[in-house]
């Protein structure tokens, strides 16, 4: 069996990197981390900067989906996450996969 390079996953991401990933302002990510305390648990480095873990990124994907794509309020999104986090995670993943498929189909259409 050939050797496969392991996927290197970072343990922490700076708030500026997270904001860039989601196309949001740093202040928005900071506000969400305060508003969704308990769901998002960024650790702070020695300087006091928020550092987000991969689990925080997963939660942020769900929050982004609920707030930006579904148009929910922050309180409604928080309630939904507390009640049914796994179900919302699956919904967000399905939407993400469908969007990727759509992009691939559009690329194929442009090639034809």
In a domain, 4, yes or no: no
In a domain, 27, yes or no: yes
In a domain, 62, yes or no: yes
Check: pTM over 0.85? Answer yes or no.
Answer: no
DSSP states along 21-40: HHT--HHHHHHHHHHTBTTB
In a domain, 7, yes or no: no
In a domain, 2, yes or no: no
pLDDT digit string (tens) for 93-110? 777 788 888 888 888 888
CA–CA dist 75, 72 (Å, integer): 8
In a domain, 1, yes or no: no
pLDDT digit string (tens) for 59-93? 898 898 889 888 999 998 888 888 776 666 677 67
CA–CA dist 10, 61 (Å, integer): 17
In a domain, 47, yes or no: yes
> Which CATH number characterizes residue 36's domain?
1.10.1660.10
What is the total count of domains within the chain? 1
Range of the domain at 28: 13-111
């Amino acid at each position: 069996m050939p050797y496969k390079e392991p996927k290197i996953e970072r343990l922490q991401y700076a708030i500026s990197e997270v904001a860039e990933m989601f196309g949001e302002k740093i202040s928005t990510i900071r506000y969400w981390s305060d508003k969704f305390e308990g769901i998002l648990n960024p650790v702070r480095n020695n300087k006091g900067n928020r550092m987000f873990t991969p689990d925080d990124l997963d939660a942020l994907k769900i929050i982004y989906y609920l707030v930006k794509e579904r148009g929910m309020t922050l309180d409604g999104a928080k309630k939904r996450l507390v009640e049914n986090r796994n179900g919302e995670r699956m919904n967000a993943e399905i939407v993400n996969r469908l969007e990727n498929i759509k992009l691939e189909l559009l690329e194929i259409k442009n090639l034809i």
